[in-house]
Chain A
Amino acid sequence: MDLSYTPEEEAFRAEVRAFLSEKLPRHLSEKVRLGKRLTKSDMVSWHAILNAQGWLAPNWPKEYGGAEWDAVQRMIFEEEACLAHAPRIVPFGLSMLAPVLMAFGSEEQCQHYLPRILSGEDWWCQGYSEPGAGSDLAALKTRAVRDGDHYVVNGQKTWTTLGQHANWIFCLVRTDADAKKQEGISFLLIDMNTPGVTVRPIVLIDGEAEVNEVFFDDVRVPVENLVGEENKGWTYAKYLLTHERTNIAGVGFSNAALATLKHVAASTQSGGKPLDQNPYFAARMALAEIDLMAMATTNLRVVSAAAKGQAPGPESSMLKIKGTVIRQELSSLLCRAAGPDAMPFLPDYLDGGDNVPAEGPEHAPAAAPNYFNMRKLSIFGGSNEIQRTIITKAILQL
């Protein structure tokens, strides 16, 4: 075993660093650093910068305009991007839909949609969950009935992340009501500008509307928007879910959060000394760091064991659980570090205004909203309970 990076990998890291320091706009990294909310144009502009560099799609093959990086390169990029406070890359088109299209879609679909994902022309969102179908995803009820060369779609999706910005949604729909739960589902691409599509925002515990309900009322979708075969959508959905879970360890996010936390704890006075000398706070911070150091290596072990470019199997469940627990703990500690200054609710400030009515350090206004928002990590992408069940069945075979 050799834990050191090769000279090529070191060179790659240096290249990534140079790129970030040159091309990452300062106003964006400042927003990310302070936990402020990003607008659609913030996210779109960062995508465009990465695309111009050819780095927007690390996991795509070169023929489609991807970077075709290996696991270690991807990890290095993620680490550096997070530490530089780059905006997150919205995953729905790039790392969820695209692998499905490449594996199961038609050549025409790939030729049409993939370039538009890279260019930013299309913003995709994920229409899987429904009010009655959460963990039990296969219980979904949204129906698509064939009518000539269209499907007519009726039903409701929910928890659609950033759906307010999207013009396309990939959906799981029921095309055979009589088949067994998993066997009557199809994977459909729907233009959100089609008549009959309504998007309604849902405000979450942190005060921000990051998710939406999406309603379909006799929405006519051309049959060529079906991916793969009718009624085989569950296979594609599962394939997508393993991709969804690959980057969910969030090592880069945690590294960045830990760096911020250490800085804050050292510069916050508590009881006449820095907070990082409060033994209990310091111990929890150290435990999170120790866990993170090991998890980063677990992540690399799992990811590099998977074939090049492929998503790991049930091991990704392990990464999801540990990764989310660590990120949540770090957000909890950062919130606690803010002390009384975590209490004011300042949405205008978080939206980019700089009118801070309360006194306090600059990281404090986002601390509580961020802590509350991070609760989602153990719920979405297959809840941590569901991940444990996957581990129990698939790895432990209990």
Chain B
Amino acid sequence: MDFNLTEERGLLRDMLQKFLGEKYGHEERRKLIASGKAYDAGIYAEMAELGVLGAMFSEDDGGLGGAGFDIAVVFEELGRAGVIEPILGNAVLAGSLIAELGTDNQKELIGSVIAGETLLALAHAEPASRYDLNHVTASAKTDGGQIALNGTKAHVLNGAQASMLVVSAREAGADFDETGISLFLVPTDAKGVTIVDHPNVDGTSAATIRLENVVVDEGARLGASGEAFAAIEAAVARATLAVSAEAVGAMEAAKALTIDYLKERKQFGIAIGKFQALQHRMADVLIEVEQARSAVINLAGHLDAPRALRERHVSATKNLIGRASALVGEEAVQMHGGIGMTDEYALSHFVRRMVMIDHLFGDVDHHLERFISLNAA
């Protein structure tokens, strides 16, 4: 066993940490969010240059990593700094799907994603699909060489900033069937696409996208007709790892702020960190963060395992991350008192992200039930 990072990953982590430490302080980030922009194009370009996007793809696809531990290393740092830049929806979700299913021609997009030139988004979830990946009602009807897409996609991460969408739609089967789902590349300026952008509680950005008779040709389909589900599930596994690692980074940041605060804040003439009522809970926070880190390592190490094993770790990790995030977030705010609840202070931003991560790709309840049924299977 070796729990050390490879040299390359260690270097990437250190570089990213240094870069974000200098350029992505709390004040810059707050200003960015208040400006209403989904991200800072300058910072994004610099991150692309550092290789952050490249780390999401394998060498075969023109990247410099692509494995679970690459994703985990990068996203932990993004979480620690509270980065809102569009890497998850773009590279990890949409990009992974193109890497997995795309033809050489289609895969050319990946190069420009890595260079930070093109933004992609995955338009998969729908208003009523909640966390069920197989719940697709958007339709794809072929007529001659043309395919017409209809439906509504919800919570599309950075959907309004992307130039190209990876859209799921049903070519066969009923609402919850795993077979019959296909993916299509659709430019966001295609006729019949309407996009409504909105900010999220945690400062990230998403969109509701309507497709009304959007016509694409056969060349827009990613992979075989009706066979996209397995790839979607695998891409979501990668995204689950990414947000889980991001949550660990955010938890680490919240933990560090709280420890400092316990040492600084004086009440009754002494630092509040001297009260045992808080000390023991801070110890529990530390234990939970370590558990969360281990869960992320488990998932990163099994990302390329056979489906059954991989998905067992997906559900175990996401459940644990959700529980740990709630505990760490709630305790950190509580131990800060009123200050912990202010927008001006960094803690509330980390806590919002940690809690909202539970609402992405399945929450604690969803994954607990899923873990039990995967065990039974």
> Would B356 and A343 count as touching, CB distance under 8 A?
yes
Centre residue among A207, A270, A378 by max chain B CB count within 10 A = A270
Interface segment, one of A94-102, A222-230, A275-283, A306-314: A275-283
B374 to chain A, nearest CB (A): 13
Say whether B364 faces chain A, with CB atoms less than 8 Å apart: yes
Interface segment, one of B14-22, B53-61, B231-239, B332-340: B332-340
- 12 A–B contacts, CB within 8 A, in A order: A132-B266, A136-B267, A205-B333, A211-B338, A270-B131, A280-B365, A343-B201, A343-B360, A344-B200, A358-B198, A359-B154, A379-B337
B173 to chain A, nearest CB (A): 15
In the complex, which residues of chain A have a beta carbon less than 8 angstroms from the beta carbon of B155?
340-341, 343-344, 358
* Residue of chain B at shortest CB distance from A380: B338
> Would B338 and A357 count as touching, CB distance under 8 A?
no
> Would A280 and B201 count as touching, CB distance under 8 A?
no
One of B269, B275, B326 near A332 (C-beta < 8 A): B326
Given the known inter-chain contacts A280-B364, A385-B277, please indicate yes or no for A342 contacting B356, CB distance below 8 A. Answer: yes
> Would B267 and A135 count as touching, CB distance under 8 A?
yes
> Would A342 and B154 count as touching, CB distance under 8 A?
no
One of B130, B269, B343, B368 near A340 (C-beta < 8 A): B130
A353 to chain B, nearest CB (A): 13
Besides A278-B369, A339-B130, A385-B278, 10 more A-B contacts (Cβ < 8 Å) are A203-B344, A205-B348, A269-B128, A332-B326, A340-B359, A343-B200, A343-B356, A344-B155, A360-B154, A385-B275
A260 to chain B, nearest CB (A): 18
B49 to chain A, nearest CB (A): 30
> Would B338 and A134 count as touching, CB distance under 8 A?
yes
A357 and B155 CA atoms in complex are apart in Å by: 11
In the complex, which residues of chain A have a beta carbon less than 8 angstroms from the beta carbon of B341?
204-205, 372, 375-376, 379
Say whether B363 faces chain A, with CB atoms less than 8 Å apart: yes
Count class of interface residues, chain A: 35 or more
Q: Which of A325-355 contact B (CB under 8 A)?
A: 328, 332, 335-336, 338-346
In the complex, which residues of chain B have a beta carbon less than 8 angstroms from the beta carbon of A298?
none
Interface string of B262-277 (1 = CB under 8 A from A): 0000111100000101
A155 to chain B, nearest CB (A): 17
One of A205, A360, A384 near B352 (C-beta < 8 A): A205
> Would A202 and B352 count as touching, CB distance under 8 A?
no
B349 to chain A, nearest CB (A): 9
> Would B338 and A159 count as touching, CB distance under 8 A?
yes
A39 to chain B, nearest CB (A): 21
In the complex, which residues of chain B have a beta carbon less than 8 angstroms from the beta carbon of A134?
267, 337-338
Given the known inter-chain contacts A269-B128, A340-B130, A383-B337, please indicate yes or no for A372 contacting B366, CB distance below 8 A. Answer: no
Say whether A371 faces chain B, with CB atoms less than 8 Å apart: yes
A285 to chain B, nearest CB (A): 10
One of B132, B351, B363 near A336 (C-beta < 8 A): B363
Interface string of A189-211 (1 = CB under 8 A from B): 00000000000001111010001
A278 and B319 CA atoms in complex are apart in Å by: 14
B201 to chain A, nearest CB (A): 5
Say whether B320 faces chain A, with CB atoms less than 8 Å apart: no
In the complex, which residues of chain B have a beta carbon less than 8 angstroms from the beta carbon of A346?
198
Say whether B217 faces chain A, with CB atoms less than 8 Å apart: no
Q: Is the interface of A mostly helix, strand, loop or mixed?
A: mixed
* Residue of chain B at shortest CB distance from A369: B201
B189 to chain A, nearest CB (A): 20
B198 to chain A, nearest CB (A): 5
Say whether B196 faces chain A, with CB atoms less than 8 Å apart: yes
In the complex, which residues of chain B have a beta carbon less than 8 angstroms from the beta carbon of A384?
334
Interface string of B300-317 (1 = CB under 8 A from A): 000000000000000000
Say whether B163 faces chain A, with CB atoms less than 8 Å apart: no
> Would A139 and B208 count as touching, CB distance under 8 A?
no
* List of 7 A-B pairs having minimum Cβ-Cβ separation, nearest first: A359-B127, A205-B348, A136-B267, A203-B343, A281-B365, A280-B365, A357-B196
Centre residue among A284, A369, A375, A378 by max chain B CB count within 10 A = A375
A227 and B352 CA atoms in complex are apart in Å by: 42
> Would B365 and A278 count as touching, CB distance under 8 A?
yes
One of B201, B208, B266, B278 near A368 (C-beta < 8 A): B201
Given the known inter-chain contacts A203-B344, A359-B127, A360-B127, please indicate yes or no for A343 contacting B338, CB distance below 8 A. Answer: no
Interface string of B187-214 (1 = CB under 8 A from A): 0000000001111111000101000000
Q: Which of B321-339 contact A (CB under 8 A)?
A: 326, 330, 333-334, 337-338
A3 to chain B, nearest CB (A): 34
> Would B199 and A345 count as touching, CB distance under 8 A?
yes
In the complex, which residues of chain A have a beta carbon less than 8 angstroms from the beta carbon of B269?
136
* Residue of chain B at shortest CB distance from A203: B343
A375 and B197 CA atoms in complex are apart in Å by: 29
One of B125, B206, B326 near A344 (C-beta < 8 A): B206
In the complex, which residues of chain A have a beta carbon less than 8 angstroms from the beta carbon of B200?
343-345
In the complex, which residues of chain B have a beta carbon less than 8 angstroms from the beta carbon of A358?
154-155, 196, 198, 206, 208
Given the known inter-chain contacts A345-B198, A345-B199, A368-B356, please indicate yes or no for A202 contacting B334, CB distance below 8 A. Answer: no
* Residue of chain A at shortest CB distance from B370: A271
Centre residue among A268, A271, A338, A371 by max chain B CB count within 10 A = A271
B179 to chain A, nearest CB (A): 17
In the complex, which residues of chain B have a beta carbon less than 8 angstroms from the beta carbon of A335?
355
A328 to chain B, nearest CB (A): 8
> Would A202 and B267 count as touching, CB distance under 8 A?
no
Q: Which of B108-138 contact A (CB under 8 A)?
A: 125, 127-128, 130-132
Say whether B161 faces chain A, with CB atoms less than 8 Å apart: no
Say whether A158 faces chain B, with CB atoms less than 8 Å apart: yes
> Would B342 and A270 count as touching, CB distance under 8 A?
no
One of B208, B337, B351, B365 near A135 (C-beta < 8 A): B337
